[in-house]
A and B are shown apart, each in its own frame.
Chain A
Amino acid sequence: MDLMSMLHAVLFNYTLRTVALGAATLGIVSGALGCYAVLRRQALLGDAMSHAALPGIVLAFLLTGTRQPLVLLLGAMVAGWLATLALIGIIRTTRIKEDSALGILLSVFFGFGMVLLALAQKQPNAAQAGLSKFLFGQAASLVVRDVITMAGLGAVALLLMLLFWKEFKLLSFDPDFGATQGFPIRLLDIGLTALIVVAIVVGLQTVGVVLMSAMLVAPAAAARQWTDRLGVMVTLSAFFGALAGVIGAMISATARGMSTGPTVVLCISAIVMFSIFFAPNRGLVWNIVRQQRNRQRLRHKVDRELVLEPE
Chain B
Amino acid sequence: MHTNTHAIEVTDLTVAYRDKPVLWDVDLAVPAGILMAIVGPNGAGKTTLIKAILGLAPIAAGQTLIYGKPYAVQRRLVGYVPQRGSVDWDFPTNVLDVVMMGRYGALGWIRRPGSRERNLAYEALEKVEMQDFADRQISQLSGGQQQRVFLARALVQDAQVYFMDEPFQGVDATTERTIITLLQELRSAGKTVVVVHHDLQTVPEYFDWVTLLNVRRIASGAVSEVFTEENLRLTYGGRVAIMGQNAEARMLSGPLSAADHTKDRNTWI
Q: Which residues of A contact B110 (CB under 8 A)?
A: 163-164, 166-167
Q: Provide the bound-state CA to CA distance between A224 and B93, in Å.
A: 11
Q: Which residue of A lies closest to B111 (CB)?
A: A166
Taking a contact as CB atoms under 8 Å apart, the answer to whether A228 and B112 are in contact is no
Q: A169 an interface residue at 8 Å Cβ cutoff?
A: yes
Taking a contact as CB atoms under 8 Å apart, the answer to whether A173 and B87 are in contact is yes
Q: Which residues of B contact A229 (CB under 8 A)?
A: 92-94
Q: B104 an interface residue at 8 Å Cβ cutoff?
A: yes
Say which residue of B75, B80, B88, B269 sits within 8 Å of A173 (CB atoms). Answer: B88
Q: Which residue of A lies closest to B138 (CB)?
A: A228
Q: Which residue of A lies closest to B89 (CB)?
A: A173
Q: A284 an interface residue at 8 Å Cβ cutoff?
A: no
Taking a contact as CB atoms under 8 Å apart, the answer to whether B92 and A180 are in contact is no
A160, chain B: closest CB distance, angstroms: 11
Q: A165 an interface residue at 8 Å Cβ cutoff?
A: yes
* Chain B residues with a Cβ closer than 8 Å to the other chain, count: 31
Q: Which residues of B contact A170 (CB under 8 A)?
A: 101, 104
**B99-117 with Cβ < 8 A to chain A:** 101-102, 104-105, 107, 109-113
Taking a contact as CB atoms under 8 Å apart, the answer to whether B269 and A174 are in contact is no
A interface residue count range (under 10 / 10 to 19 / 20 to 34 / 35 or more): 20 to 34
Known: A91-B269, A166-B112, A183-B104. Is A177-B82 also a contact (CB below 8 A)? Answer: yes
Q: Provide the bound-state CA to CA distance between A233 and B104, in Å.
A: 22
Say which residue of B78, B92, B105 sits within 8 Å of A183 (CB atoms). Answer: B105
B52, chain A: closest CB distance, angstroms: 13
Bits for B67-85, please: 1 = Cβ < 8 Å to A, else 0: 0000000011010101000
Taking a contact as CB atoms under 8 Å apart, the answer to whether B269 and A181 are in contact is no
Q: A149 an interface residue at 8 Å Cβ cutoff?
A: no
Q: Which residues of A contact B56 (CB under 8 A)?
A: 176, 179-180
Bits for A180-209, please: 1 = Cβ < 8 Å to B, else 0: 111100000000000000000000000000
Taking a contact as CB atoms under 8 Å apart, the answer to whether A177 and B92 are in contact is no
**B30-60 with Cβ < 8 A to chain A:** 51, 54-56
Q: Which residues of A contact B105 (CB under 8 A)?
A: 180-183
Q: A267 an interface residue at 8 Å Cβ cutoff?
A: no
Summarize A's interface: helix, strand, loop or mixed: helix
B92, chain A: closest CB distance, angstroms: 5
Taking a contact as CB atoms under 8 Å apart, the answer to whether A173 and B82 are in contact is no
Q: Which residues of B contact A165 (CB under 8 A)?
A: 112
Q: Provide the bound-state CA to CA distance between A99 and B75, in Å.
A: 34
Taking a contact as CB atoms under 8 Å apart, the answer to whether B75 and A228 are in contact is no
Q: Which residues of B contact A233 (CB under 8 A)?
A: 92
Q: Which residues of B contact A41 (CB under 8 A)?
A: 88
Q: Provide the bound-state CA to CA distance between A34 and B76, in Å.
A: 33
A19, chain B: closest CB distance, angstroms: 32
Say which residue of B51, B94, B104, B111 sits within 8 Å of A181 (CB atoms). Answer: B104
Q: Provide the bound-state CA to CA distance between A164 and B108, in Å.
A: 11
Q: Which residues of A contact B102 (CB under 8 A)?
A: 181
Taking a contact as CB atoms under 8 Å apart, the answer to whether B269 and A228 are in contact is no
Q: B226 an interface residue at 8 Å Cβ cutoff?
A: no
Taking a contact as CB atoms under 8 Å apart, the answer to whether A228 and B87 are in contact is no
Q: Which residues of A contact B75 (CB under 8 A)?
A: 180-182
Q: Which residue of A lies closest to B71 (CB)?
A: A180
Q: Provide the bound-state CA to CA distance between A170 and B88, in Å.
A: 12
Taking a contact as CB atoms under 8 Å apart, the answer to whether B80 and A180 are in contact is yes
Bits for B189-203, please: 1 = Cβ < 8 Å to A, else 0: 000000000000000
Q: Which residue of B lies closest to A185 (CB)?
A: B56
B12, chain A: closest CB distance, angstroms: 23
25 interchain pairs, CB-CB under 8 A: A39-B88, A92-B269, A166-B104, A166-B112, A166-B113, A167-B104, A167-B110, A169-B93, A173-B98, A174-B82, A174-B86, A176-B56, A176-B80, A179-B55, A179-B56, A180-B54, A180-B78, A181-B101, A182-B75, A182-B105, A183-B104, A228-B92, A229-B92, A230-B92, A230-B93
Name B's A-contacting residues (CB within 8 A). 51, 54-56, 75-76, 78, 80, 82, 86-88, 91-94, 98, 101-102, 104-105, 107, 109-113, 137, 139, 153, 269
Name A's B-contacting residues (CB within 8 A). 39, 41, 91-92, 163-167, 169-170, 172-174, 176-183, 224, 227-230, 232-233
The 7 closest A-B pairs by CB, nearest first: A181-B105, A228-B137, A180-B80, A182-B105, A174-B87, A230-B92, A181-B104
